[in-house]
Amino acid sequence: MTDISTFSTIAEITVSIHSKRISPVEIVDAHLRRIESLQPKLNAFVHLDAGAARAQARAAEAAVTQNQLLGPLHGVPLTVKCCIDVAGWPCPAGSLLRKDYIPRADAPLVSRLKAAGAIFLGNTNTPEFLMAYETNNLLNGKTSNPWNLAYSSGGSSGGEAAAIAAGCSMGGVGSDGGGSIRVPAHFCGICGLKPTPGRISSTGHFPSGAGAFGWIGVVGHGTHSGIYPRRFDSDRSLAGLRQHARTGG
């Protein structure tokens, strides 16, 4: 196995997994360790399903070992905004009124990403009902900007942007009507894409039937490295968070 980084691109990771140079177990564990270290500072996650992610990573590793047909995102750890349904996970959309809502089925986009081999780590914070350019709410609290913890991560996909920028996720799914992907991506120094309306199914998104205010899109580190792209310049630091992760401070 070779060295891996939570700041590697998805293209790099998928090539390495398909060629057996790294294991899905290694890359998922690296991200979970990163989350464990940084979540207390960032508060990017609403729900983390580490046990299921590790089990899926072991199954993905077995598929590689057995030379099975692999999907384009096989073993890639992703995250999703907490207004998009994932079966069995809380989906509060930042509101106390939805704190007990647990979807029974995945949103179509989530199902398609899983079918492509992606491993979902958890879902991420958003302002109440997605209605703010800062990610803060009475249910889960404020998500901080990984470049400076005193600053906002933006909204409403602020949890996604903070998690990806901090190396806690390789890429993610948000939603955007008036900038809810693009603004937090800008705040956190990554890339956010609002796709052509209707290009990605919005079934399973809250609020439903939101039209132009509920288009689902992607969040990542750049536009040059494949599906859900992400890259990070190695000579930059994230408000000391890399040092925190190394030292446990």
Known active-site residue 202:
no
Q: What is the per-residue pLDDT across 225-239, written as a single tens digit (0 to 9) for each?
A: 333 333 323 223 344
Known active-site residue 156:
yes
Known active-site residue 225:
no
Active-site pick, 23, 37, 81, 95: 81
Least confident window among 42-51, 96-105, 211-220, 222-231 = 222-231
Go through 21-48 and write b for each residue having 16 or more CB atoms within 10 A of its CB, e for each that does not: ebbbbbbbbbbbebbebbbebbbbbbbb
Active-site pick, 152, 157, 180, 202: 180
CB atoms within 10 A of CB 149: 17
**Which pTM does this prediction carry?**
0.88
| Beta pairing class for 148-152 and 172-176 | unpaired
Active-site pick, 16, 153, 156, 169: 156
Tokens, residue 198: 């209707």
Could you tell me the pLDDT band of residue 32, with boundaries at 50, 70 and 90? very high
CB atoms within 10 A of CB 196: 8
